[in-house]
Structure 1
Amino acid sequence: MTTHTRLTFHGPLSSGRATAIVERLAANRPRTVLDIGCGWGELLLRVLDAVPEARGTGVDIDEEDLARGRRGAKARGLAGRVEFVAESARGTGRGPADLVLCLGASQALSEADAPTAEALHALRGLVSDGGRVLLGEGFWERTPTEAELAGMWPGAGASDHVSLAALLDLAVEAGFRPEWTETATLAEWEEFESAYQADQEVWLAGHPDHPDAAELRERLDRHRKQWMNYRGLLGMAYLTLVPVLR
């Protein structure tokens, strides 16, 4: 059974928004691009397409995603300018880079239960002066109730995320100025969450009596119920951050 073939990005990011982000980041002409928790590195590859002189490195621990990234790079003629590396990003020495991408992956830079603040300080050490960081980070649209949290992911707590205003304050405290602030729309969330499960949902509908069907059905139903609990509560911010000169 194939999975995630409907996903372009591993997060609520539309192709239209991605195009605008890439144009803005490419205008700074980065020579080196580092993607933390890159997955299959779709945005990384789009930046390299837009900046022919740039070279990129994607870091992740998921071998399947990395293999997909390598296939994508080869198909686009970018294999000679990008490396997908299977390793932890915690304490990485791969910076500084002119552009650092960290989309929904701040946990890759910190062991803290709420990793955002620590991850932002790590990102400041990974970006070169005059460079840019693109941070994709969750935030609460409003503080969820205990009942709402109980229906989300296991162990969900109000401290897992902060508000958008508090997230921007954390970025400033870590040594950045926000060049651009934008947030995922409900439509982007719905496209992502639907595409995340679509392959498996279609397979399950056609194989209801398969030996693996019961376990898969339980997992899909559980995730859908979790999504319905954080739908409209969990936001995703895309922050283009400029490091303050030290």
Structure 2
Amino acid sequence: MADPVRVQTTYGVGIGWRPEIGGFVEGLPGLRFAEVVAESVHAHGDLPPGLRALLDRGVTVVPHGVRLSLGGAEAVEPARVEHFAAVAERLNAPLVSEHIAFVRAGGVEAGHLLPLPRTREAVDAVVANVRRVQAAVAVPIALEPIAALFDWPGDELTEAQFIGEILDRSGAMLLLDIANVYANARNRGDDPLDLLDQLPLDRVAYVHVAGGAEHQGLYHDTHTDAVPQPVLDLVAELCARHRPPALMLERDGDYPPAAALAAELDAIAGASGYPTVT
């Protein structure tokens, strides 16, 4: 496996490919980077036409897993890992990504990404599962810390320490979701720059940028709302500290008109200093 820290090609501003906005994504003239939910791509057979068109244009497409449950107490399911590896190979992806989270326990599916207790036992579980994935996937993996609406009692580590130990022991890269940094800090009453400055930014593989909304006093990382200005401000702060290879707009449902999507991409480009893709 390649040294993950050295995967540093610059892709600029990208977007998550979804079937509902496939035509819009395919039509972006300056696009060099996109992401697709790994579980939405078949391991065999034809690729969705829009996705095939991006690959034919030379756009880098990274598979992003949402169902491996790397933080679960059980070992990752071999069939899911096999599919993950096959999709990465089909897309000729330079890396893959998944979440520091769990989605099932004792055979019960949560249907949502759930946060882990920040304990060393949880670190052990994540690292063991990441190593199982790395043994099957031929490219590096980047791990994404999620937005959490609550913290478990009895945490032994800060969020930055928890993330750092997992990355150090697994050798994985960091998929930094700047919107999650904002959400977690806001919900805890913390300064997001404090967390940003504690993270290993030299290990960032790429960055998610997404919108959210407040509900009953908590900020929810919805992916269905426009990216708010405070998140764009964090993008600028991040790029001033360590410019990432790519900044990717995440939208998952309630898709706005093409002009609004283009404006969001332009806003991310403006905050980061990267060229626009529209």
Q: Which has the higher contact order (CA 8 A, sep 6+)?
A: 1
| Fold shared by both chains (TM-score > 0.5) | no
Measured against the shorter chain, the TM-score band is 0.3 to 0.5
TM-score normalised by length of structure 2: 0.31
Larger radius of gyration: 1
